[in-house]
């Protein structure tokens, strides 16, 4: 009988062992590649800092903000090339800089693929909050756990070490963190979304207790069919929109419903600005009780806007509504800020002969509006409506199409 090879692929134990080994090798390669991305971004941003003339117009080089403008332009260039958000690019660059200068041991292991990207980012975030005298101790104390612990465990370990090193500053750190409080909304599938708030924990505790109490009281009602989870969400929405007090704020939302859908001849969904497609029943519910409606006639085949209701607004308002419906978001590649929160910019400046007509207008958020004017980013629009951006380093990218 011929003995079976120790690496016999017909043996399931061998196949499983090879599969696990392949996963390990690929994981370490991914971490190594992430470190390479971080390193390249940080190096590029440092070059932009040292040589702002590559990114900023010559007449602006004497400005005290020239370096910041160059960094912004470089970050935007990288973001377009890497298909990342500009904030992510800056975050990666800061993380690499912090690790390289403050935690050289952990940075070396990250570059070798032995530390996860999550752990490296957590360490970089925390070391940024430490005085220089604690950098070496923080690096030495985390270099081994960073290679061994999963991200949730490492996060606890790293934060505990940080707290031990600067325990006397707890109140001051909490006050600084509270200055970063904010709220953010994110759309999800099927007309749903997430509402997130970064708040002091004492406020979160009170909010949770209040919502929990109201939900429990409603859940005890004999006719109640909603779960506690659903009640908590519904009551939060009612409180924030003023439903429970009758003090809801007057807001304007853009809701587009195809005419053929309204006539029952199409199942094309309605579109809610900033969210995307929603079902017709939800659209009808949103329309119920609104004080006024602006009619916008679109081509049933191409969706081109043919006519705006002349009885509702002056020309400037109609043009703004048309552009908001056309662009949906800021037209800089990768930017998702709502058109209603953006500036309307002339592609060809008025002083250079640009006219105030739709094909020469587009939406830019304030950040990218300034970037267009202060840096070497260039924009052009062809006769067919295609908008092309060219970065200071010559990289070209068409503006993203509307998300829905």
User: Which tens digits make up the pLDDT trace of 98-126?
Assistant: 999 999 999 999 999 999 999 999 999 99
pLDDT value, residue 402: 67
- Output 229 or 169, whichever has higher pLDDT: 229
Whether residue 240 has pLDDT greater than 70? yes
Query: CA-CA distance, 321 to 325, in Å (whole number)?
Result: 6
Q: Using pLDDT thresholds of 50, 70 and 90, give the confidence band for residue 215.
A: confident
Q: What is the pTM of this model?
A: 0.70
- Reported as a single tens digit per residue, the pLDDT across 363-390 is 999 999 999 999 999 999 887 778 899 9
pLDDT value, residue 390: 95
Nearest CA to 339 out of 242, 254, 238 is that of 254
- Output 259 or 122, whichever has higher pLDDT: 122
Handedness of CA 218, 222, 223, 229 (dihedral sign): positive
pLDDT value, residue 87: 93
pLDDT value, residue 84: 94
Whether residue 63 has pLDDT greater than 60? yes
Lowest mean pLDDT among 11-25, 148-162, 170-184, 282-296: 282-296
Nearest CA to 329 out of 253, 250, 399 is that of 399
Per the structure block, which two tokens stand in for 399?
């503006």
Query: CA-CA distance, 363 to 344, in Å (whole number)?
Result: 5
Strand partners, 154: none
Q: Using pLDDT thresholds of 50, 70 and 90, give the confidence band for residue 60.
A: confident
Lowest mean pLDDT among 87-96, 168-177, 338-347: 168-177
Per the structure block, which two tokens stand in for 286?
């949103």
What percent of the chain stands above pLDDT 90? 43
Whether residue 403 has pLDDT greater than 60? no
pLDDT value, residue 133: 95
Identify the three-state secondary structure at position 185. strand
pLDDT value, residue 219: 87
Instruction: Tell me the average pLDDT of the chain.
Output: 83
Mean pLDDT calculated for residue range 279-295: 63
Handedness of CA 17, 21, 23, 24 (dihedral sign): positive
Most confident of 55-69, 134-148, 163-177: 134-148
Write phi, then psi, for 185 (nearest 5 degrees). Answer: -120, 145
- Going from N- to C-terminal start, the domains of the chain cover 12-168, 315-398
Nearest CA to 338 out of 280, 272, 267, 291 is that of 272
- Reported as a single tens digit per residue, the pLDDT across 192-203 is 888 999 988 778
Q: Using pLDDT thresholds of 50, 70 and 90, give the confidence band for residue 324.
A: confident
Write phi, then psi, for 305 (nearest 5 degrees). Answer: -75, 120
Q: Using pLDDT thresholds of 50, 70 and 90, give the confidence band for residue 311.
A: very low
Per the structure block, which two tokens stand in for 201?
């924990």
pLDDT value, residue 288: 64
pLDDT value, residue 315: 34
């Amino acid at each position: 009988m011929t003995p079976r090879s120790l690496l016999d692929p017909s043996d399931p134990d061998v196949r499983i062992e090879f599969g696990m080994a392949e996963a390990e090798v690929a994981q370490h390669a991914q971490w190594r590649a992430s470190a390479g991305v971080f390193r390249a971004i940080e190096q590029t941003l440092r070059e932009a800092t040292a040589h702002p003339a590559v990114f900023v117009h010559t007449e602006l080089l004497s400005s005290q903000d020239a370096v910041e403008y160059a960094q912004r332009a470089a970050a935007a260039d990288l973001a377009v090339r890497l298909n990342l958000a500009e904030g992510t690019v800056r975050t990666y660059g800061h993380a690499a800089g912090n690790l390289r200068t403050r935690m050289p041991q952990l940075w070396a292991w990250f570059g070798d693929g032995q530390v996860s990207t999550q752990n490296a980012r957590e360490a970089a975030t925390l070391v940024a909050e430490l005085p220089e005298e604690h950098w070496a101790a923080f690096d030495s104390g985390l270099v081994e756990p960073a290679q061994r612990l999963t991200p949730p465990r490492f996060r606890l370990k790293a934060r505990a070490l940080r707290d031990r090193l600067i325990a006397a500053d707890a109140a001051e750190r909490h006050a600084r963190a509270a200055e970063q409080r904010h709220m953010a909304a994110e759309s999800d599938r099927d007309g749903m979304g997430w509402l997130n708030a970064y708040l002091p924990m004492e406020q979160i505790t009170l909010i949770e207790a209040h919502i929990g109490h109201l939900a429990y009281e409603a859940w005890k009602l004999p006719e109640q069919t909603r779960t506690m989870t659903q009640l908590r969400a519904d009551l939060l929405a009612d409180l924030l929109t003023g439903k429970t007090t009758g003090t809801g704020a007057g807001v304007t939302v853009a809701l587009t419903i195809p005419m053929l859908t309204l006539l029952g001849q199409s199942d094309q969904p309605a579109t809610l600005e900033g969210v995307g497609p929603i079902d017709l029943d939800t659209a009808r519910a949103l329309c119920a009780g609104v004080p006024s409606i602006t009619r916008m006639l679109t081509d049933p085949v191409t969706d081109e806007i043919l006519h705006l209701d002349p009885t509702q607004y002056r020309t400037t308002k109609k043009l703004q509504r048309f552009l908001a419906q056309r662009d949906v978001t800021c037209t800089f590649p990768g930017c998702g800020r709502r058109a209603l929160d953006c500036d309307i910019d002339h592609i060809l400046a008025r002083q250079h002969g640009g006219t105030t007509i739709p094909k020469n207008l587009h939406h830019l958020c304030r950040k990218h509006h300034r970037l267009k004017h202060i840096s070497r980013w260039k924009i052009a629009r062809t006769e067919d409506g295609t908008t092309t951006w060219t970065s200071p380093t010559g990289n070209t990218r068409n503006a993203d199409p509307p998300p829905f």
